[in-house]
């Protein structure tokens, strides 16, 4: 959870931590895609349902490390709305434009707040080619042939209408904001050129040599290796056995040609797993998340894409950079169902606030220190937490099931005996795309 330093918070440091601005950079390089991104969402207030959907999208983006400017939480009664629009569009790295029938109508006619934003957007878009790339059009429920306002021309857009609003589409949006391009496949041999005696290997053997795999097939294979003979459900609570089973599932490689072996699902917070490693005892690092696993349950009904692993974690100790009180933690639990904090970890040992991580600098022993290239983002859970690991094409990966899954997981954390009901509900889901 980002934020300014609390009043009265003591300055901190670690013995031997070098505050010199010329101290060596660590191997934890932070590239362009890992830098803070500020995003403004431009939309029309079509209905309460649409406003709620936009709010949910903004929450999703913030949960994925993106600082979102949104009128619903950044503008108070009586504040200058036109100035908020101007400042947000000018100061943001990217601007998401939610195109609906009403938005298109207001933009094209120049009416209301949308019409005012159109003037600012058009001015920025046409000032340079790079500025045009700043704007990301998203279509939602447009019935007409023209899916975007006229000032966008024939721009490529992302459609999040109905069932199209799913994890893959939202991941593409996050990748676009962080300027992460899809991995281009290796260029193959021209089929019309003679081999000249070259021994062509079997395609699957060739793929295996370079670590390529079909994620669904590979997840099924590794799941069976980690839980041999399992038909049904198996709980694992012993720390060594948890480490053993998950190490089999997440042995390298876990990424193949841009596709990921597994995803983690937590209602509206679903993401591919690009890193999973054991740290010590019950502690693991999953992407940026520090998780202290208390127990897992493997579920197998002998259908590859319906196999999954349920994970529960113990609460961790707060870093101390925010001074969270028990009341703060309870308030987060009331909102999300669990409590967590986001922070930066410098040189693998010094915690700093999320705001300092975003700025690439921190106050250490009273001195401003540039930590660019030495800091990694971390998430720590301050209360019990749970989630599900499954292949990308699992029926769990459906937007329409996100809210239900979130409710199940939160109720289980609250002590309700709903695990079997949740499993049965998951196993009854229709296959994705059907």
Q: What is the pLDDT of residues 304-326, one digit of tens each?
A: 668 999 999 999 999 999 998 99
Q: Residue 11 pLDDT > 50, yes or no?
A: no
In angstroms, the first-to-last Cα distance of the chain is 38
pLDDT, greater one: 215 or 15: 215
Q: Which pLDDT belongs to residue 65?
A: 87
Burial of 314: CB neighbours in 10 Å, binned 0-12, 13-18, 19+: middle
Q: Which pLDDT belongs to residue 5?
A: 31
Q: Which pLDDT belongs to residue 211?
A: 56
Q: Which pLDDT belongs to residue 82?
A: 82
Structure tokens at 165: 């609003």
Banded model confidence at residue 156, pLDDT cuts 50, 70, 90:
confident
CB atoms inside a 10 Å sphere around CB 194: 6
Q: Which pLDDT belongs to residue 29?
A: 34
| CA 154 to chain CA mean position, Å | 29
Q: Which pLDDT belongs to residue 330?
A: 94
Q: Which pLDDT belongs to residue 208?
A: 47
Banded model confidence at residue 117, pLDDT cuts 50, 70, 90:
low
**Closest by alpha carbon to 290, among 254, 316, 320?**
316
What is the mean predicted confidence (pLDDT) over 111-126? 63
Banded model confidence at residue 19, pLDDT cuts 50, 70, 90:
very low
Q: What is the DSSP string of 366-384?
A: TEEEE-TTTEEEEEEESS-
Looking at residue 35, the DSSP 8-state letter turns out to be S
pLDDT, greater one: 135 or 299: 299
Looking at residue 79, the DSSP 8-state letter turns out to be S
Banded model confidence at residue 1, pLDDT cuts 50, 70, 90:
very low
Q: Which pLDDT belongs to residue 77?
A: 85
Lowest mean pLDDT of 42-51, 85-94, 145-154, name the range.
Answer: 145-154
Banded model confidence at residue 190, pLDDT cuts 50, 70, 90:
low
pLDDT, greater one: 280 or 189: 280
Q: Residue 419 pLDDT > 80, yes or no?
A: yes
Q: Which pLDDT belongs to residue 353?
A: 94
Q: Which pLDDT belongs to residue 167?
A: 83
Model-level pTM greater than 0.75? no
Q: Which pLDDT belongs to residue 224?
A: 93
Q: Residue 36 pLDDT > 80, yes or no?
A: no
The region, left, alpha or beta by phi > 0 then psi within -120 to 50, assigned to residue 52 is alpha
201-212 pLDDT per residue, tens: 444 444 444 457
Q: Residue 51 pLDDT > 90, yes or no?
A: yes
Q: Which pLDDT belongs to residue 125?
A: 55
Q: Residue 135 pLDDT > 80, yes or no?
A: yes
Q: Residue 259 pLDDT > 90, yes or no?
A: no
Instruction: Name the percent of the chain lying above pLDDT 90.
Output: 49
Q: Which pLDDT belongs to residue 366?
A: 84
275-289 pLDDT per residue, tens: 999 999 999 999 999
Looking at residue 151, the DSSP 8-state letter turns out to be G
- Across 219-248, b (16+ Cβ under 10 Å) vs e yields bbebbbebbeeeeeeeebeeeeebbebbee
What is the mean predicted confidence (pLDDT) over 390-398? 90
Lowest mean pLDDT of 15-24, 245-254, 262-271, name the range.
Answer: 15-24
Q: Residue 50 pLDDT > 70, yes or no?
A: yes
Domain boundaries, the chain: 32-177, 213-314+384-427, 326-380
Alpha-carbon span 430 to 397, nearest angstrom: 11
Where would I find the beta strands (DSSP E) of 281-428?
Answer: 283-286, 289-300, 308-313, 340-346, 350-353, 361-364, 367-370, 375-381, 385-390
What is the mean predicted confidence (pLDDT) over 40-63? 92
What is the topology classification, in CATH, of domain 32-177? Rossmann fold (3.40.50)
Q: Which pLDDT belongs to residue 15?
A: 32
336-381 pLDDT per residue, tens: 999 999 999 998 888 999 999 999 999 887 889 999 989 999 999 9
What is the mean predicted confidence (pLDDT) over 117-128? 58
Angle, vertex CA 270, rays to CA 269 and CA 274, nearest 5? 125
Average pLDDT over the chain, rounded to whole?
A: 81
Instruction: Name the percent of the chain lying above pLDDT 70.
Output: 78
pLDDT, greater one: 400 or 418: 418
């Amino acid at each position: 959870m980002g934020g300014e330093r609390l009043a009265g918070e003591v300055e901190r440091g670690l013995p031997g931590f070098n505050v010199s601005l010329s101290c060596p950079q660590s191997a934890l390089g932070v590239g362009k895609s890992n830098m803070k991104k500020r995003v403004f969402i431009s939309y029309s207030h079509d209905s309460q349902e649409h406003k709620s959907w936009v709010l949910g999208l903004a929450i999703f983006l913030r949960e994925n490390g993106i600082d979102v400017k949104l009128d619903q939480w950044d503008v108070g009664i009586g504040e200058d709305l036109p100035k908020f629009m101007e400042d947000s569009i000018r100061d943001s790295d990217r601007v998401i434009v939610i195109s609906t029938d009403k938005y298109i109508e207001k933009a094209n006619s120049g009416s209301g707040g949308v019409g005012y934003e159109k003037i600012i957007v058009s001015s920025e878009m046409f000032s340079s080619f790079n500025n045009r790339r700043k704007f990301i059009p998203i279509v939602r429920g447009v019935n007409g042939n023209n899916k975007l306002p006229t000032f966008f021309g024939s721009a490529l857009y992302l459609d999040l209408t109905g069932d199209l609003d799913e994890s893959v589409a939202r991941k593409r949006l996050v990748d676009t904001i962080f300027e992460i391009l899809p991995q281009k496949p290796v260029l193959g041999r021209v089929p019309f050129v003679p081999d000249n005696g070259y021994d062509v290997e079997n395609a699957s053997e060739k793929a295996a040599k370079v670590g390529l795999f079909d994620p669904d097939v590979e997840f099924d294979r590794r799941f069976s290796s980690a839980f041999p003979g399992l038909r049904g459900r198996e709980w694992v609570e012993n720390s060594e056995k948890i480490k053993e089973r998950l190490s089999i599932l997440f042995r390298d490689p876990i990424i193949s040609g841009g596709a990921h072996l597994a995803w983690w699902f937590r209602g509206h917070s679903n993401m591919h797993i690009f890193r999973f490693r054991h740290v010590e005892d019950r502690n693991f690092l999953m992407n940026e998340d520090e998780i202290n696993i208390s127990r897992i349950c493997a579920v197998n009904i002998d259908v590859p894409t319906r196999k999954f692993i349920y994970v529960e974690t113990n609460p961790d100790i707060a870093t101390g950079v925010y001074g969270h009180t028990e009341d703060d933690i309870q308030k987060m639990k009331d909102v999300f169902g669990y409590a967590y904090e986001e922070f930066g970890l410098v040189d693998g040992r010094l915690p700093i606030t999320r705001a300092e991580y975003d700025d690439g600098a921190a106050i250490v022993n009273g001195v401003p220190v540039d930590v660019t290239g030495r800091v990694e983002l971390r998430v720590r859970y301050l209360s019990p937490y749970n989630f599900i690991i499954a292949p990308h094409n699992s029926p769990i990966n459906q937007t329409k099931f996100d809210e239900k899954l979130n409710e199940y997981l939160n109720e289980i954390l609250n002590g309700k005996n709903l695990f079997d009901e949740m499993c049965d509900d998951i196993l009854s889901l229709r296959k994705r795309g059907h």
